[in-house]
């Protein structure tokens, strides 16, 4: 009788020790790994006629660092600055700073990033924050949609957008 009780106790202890020794939920190592890393920095020149809110766009720069997990959630940052000329002929720099919270990799090698952004029109008016942002970045360039407005695509003539 004593042996049976002792055997049962020992078996329980062994099972418990195995449960403690191995990872509790199996995702501890995976939690620090995202499925893709998207990094970019570069510049481009807009085609003639590109316009945003009355500003004739000439060119722009961009930079991003985003890590997308297998669930589609993402952490990262995107910054773009477009230069142009206002209606009255003044130089104007439009700055978009985005906080990326989700993203997907596309078959064509581009990525679609979602989040919120701040838009600074560079004309002396107060910048606007909390705007919905969708960005498509890839070998062809950068296309931003702020709220319901899609900005002209900035073709990439220099730099990189690397999805790895």
Partner 1 sequence: MGRMRQPALVHRITRTRPLWSIAAVLVLCVSAALPASVALGRIDPADPGRTATLGPNMIGIVTGGGTVKLGVFPDEVLASFGINAKRPTGFVQDGTGAALGRINYNKHAQVAGRHVNVPVTFMQLELSATPSPNGTGGKAQLIGDCTQAGVECPTTPPGIRSVLVYVEDNSDTGAGDVFQISFCTDGPSAAPVLCGAAEGGTIRTGNIQIRPGASGGAAPTAARAPRLRP
In the complex, which residues of this chain contact partner 1 (CB under 8 A)?
2, 6, 9-10, 13-14, 16-17, 20-23, 28-34, 37-43, 61-67, 69, 73-79, 81, 93, 95, 97, 99, 101, 115-116, 118, 120, 122, 126-130, 158-160, 162, 164
Residues 6+ apart with CB under 8 A from 153: 140, 141, 142, 143
Which uninterrupted H or E stretch holds 4?
helix 2-21
Comparison of 50 and 119: residue with beta carbon closer to partner 1: 119
d(CA 150, CA 106): 19
For residue 23, the minimal CB distance to partner 1 (Å) is 6
- Alpha-carbon gap, residue 45 to 58, rounded angstroms: 6
Min separation Cβ 66 and partner 1, Å: 6
**Beta carbon of residue 49, minimum distance to partner 1 (angstroms, whole number):** 23
């Amino acid at each position: 009788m004593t042996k049976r009780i002792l055997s049962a106790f020992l078996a329980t202890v062994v099972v418990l020790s195995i449960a403690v020794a191995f990872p509790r939920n199996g995702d501890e190592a995976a939690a620090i790994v995202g499925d893709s890393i998207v990094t970019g920095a570069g510049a481009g020149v807009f085609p003639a006629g590109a316009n945003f809110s009355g500003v004739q766009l000439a060119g722009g720069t961009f930079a991003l660092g985003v890590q997308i997990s297998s669930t589609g959630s993402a952490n990262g940052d995107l910054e773009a600055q477009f230069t142009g000329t206002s209606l009255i002929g003044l130089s104007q720099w439009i700055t978009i700073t985005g906080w990326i919270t989700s993203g997907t990799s596309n078959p064509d090698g581009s990525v679609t990033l979602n989040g919120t952004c701040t838009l600074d029109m560079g004309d002396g008016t107060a910048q606007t924050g909390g705007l919905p942002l969708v960005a498509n970045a890839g070998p062809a360039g950068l296309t931003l949609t702020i709220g319901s407005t899609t900005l002209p695509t900035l073709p990439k003539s220099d730099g990189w957008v690397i999805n790895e």
